[in-house]
Structure 1
Amino acid sequence: MRSLLYAVAVGLIGAALLHIVIILSLPSFTGRDAYTRVQTFGETNRFFPLANSSVDIAPVNDDPAIRTAVCAFSLENGPIRLFAEGDVPFWSLAVYDSASNEVFSMNDRTSVTGALDTLVATPIQLIGIRKAVPPELERAILVEMRGLEGYAVLRTFVPAASYLESATAFLADASCEIFAPG
């Protein structure tokens, strides 16, 4: 009787663990994970604003006080420079790898000048950049990313309707481009 109860308990625990693994891995099998969805918004190395209302299959931003833009990128052809500046009350940036693991995050309070100026690169690319830092990167924050693909999410706060124009301009002018030292 004791071995039967042990077998049933082990079976139930095993079944529970199997179900948890299946549920957590389901997004990667269905193509509905965050990275795959971001890739469908358009070309890489460009910020795309998320809509604040559902329009067909367009991406949706659920918070009416937050405006969001996303950029899928690849480090295969060089590091990516994320840059944005403007008169907004608050902004935040999060960089994710292709498995949607957060690699880096910051906001306007932790930036050097209040503007977004970040360079995302592989460890090998960063070694070359750190040997001779170009003048345009002297105040940039250098972020190391192990993989070659990922995406960035840029958010800005819109506390009142009067901030909407500046928030929209901030996101529209944000750049997510391959860095070429000038």
Structure 2
Amino acid sequence: MGRIIYATLVGLVGAALVHLAVILMLPQLSENDVWRQVETRVALNDPVRLDRYGVELAAARTLDPMFAVIACRYDLSAGIFSITAPATGDFWSVAVFDDLGRIRFSANDRIVATENLDLVVAQPLQMRILRQSPRPELADAVMAETNRSSGFVVLRIFRPDETYEPVVREFIDRINCNTTPI
């Protein structure tokens, strides 16, 4: 009787571990995750709108309609990535995602030193180089570190209603995403 209970418990624990492993591996094995959608539809260093006024992504269908959402895809193998944008006067937030869809950094206009967005994304070695020999043009930049070389940055701008759309379009036209060699 004890062997049957022991075998049952071992079987249940084994099944639980297998199910947990499958659930944790799904984002990496998925063919249609957010990274794959962004990678196929967003060019490197090109700000692209992801809400209903821009590229249609399946992952973007549930986005809040009161926010304009812009994404820039980056590749850190050629250097550091930076995104700059002017002040909007309203709320904005930015998040750095790696190519596995994990958030590596996030900020908003309430926690940065200036109203403008000036964000630099770098890998640890690149970040160390920047700290050892600082660049004057990056003095006010917020630094975000990621271990992966590919990913994307998502910028959200508050858009209270349809009449605010021209302001959002002007803001998007002034967003600058670029890669700078170290």
* TM, length-normalised to structure 1: 0.86
Aligned mates of 1:99, 1:148 — CA distance in 2: 11
Aligned mates of 1:35, 1:147 — CA distance in 2: 13
Partner of 2:132: 131
Q: 1:172 to 1:12 in 2, by over 3 A?
A: farther
Partner of 2:152: 151
Aligned mates of 2:181, 2:68 — CA distance in 1: 29
* TM, length-normalised to structure 2: 0.86
- Contact conserved, 2:84 with 2:117, CA < 8 A, in 1? yes
Aligned mates of 1:86, 1:114 — CA distance in 2: 5
Partner of 2:56: 58
Residue 61 (structure 1) shift: 4.3
- 3-state SS in 2 of match to 1:4: helix
- Contact conserved, 2:96 with 2:154, CA < 8 A, in 1? yes
Q: Which runs of 5+ in 1 are unaligned?
A: none
Residue 39 (structure 1) shift: 0.5
In structure 1, what residue type is equivalent to 2:68?
Answer: R
- 3-state SS in 1 of match to 2:5: helix
Aligned pair count reads 179
Aligned mates of 1:61, 1:176 — CA distance in 2: 24
- 3-state SS in 2 of match to 1:177: strand
Aligned mates of 1:174, 1:48 — CA distance in 2: 10
- Contact conserved, 2:78 with 2:181, CA < 8 A, in 1? no
Partner of 1:115: 116
C-alpha RMSD over aligned residues: 2.2
Query: How many percent identity over aligned positions?
Result: 33
Aligned mates of 2:116, 2:51 — CA distance in 1: 24
- 3-state SS in 1 of match to 2:96: strand
Aligned mates of 1:170, 1:65 — CA distance in 2: 15
Residue 135 (structure 1) shift: 2.1
- 3-state SS in 2 of match to 1:146: coil
- Contact conserved, 2:35 with 2:101, CA < 8 A, in 1? yes
- 3-state SS in 2 of match to 1:139: coil
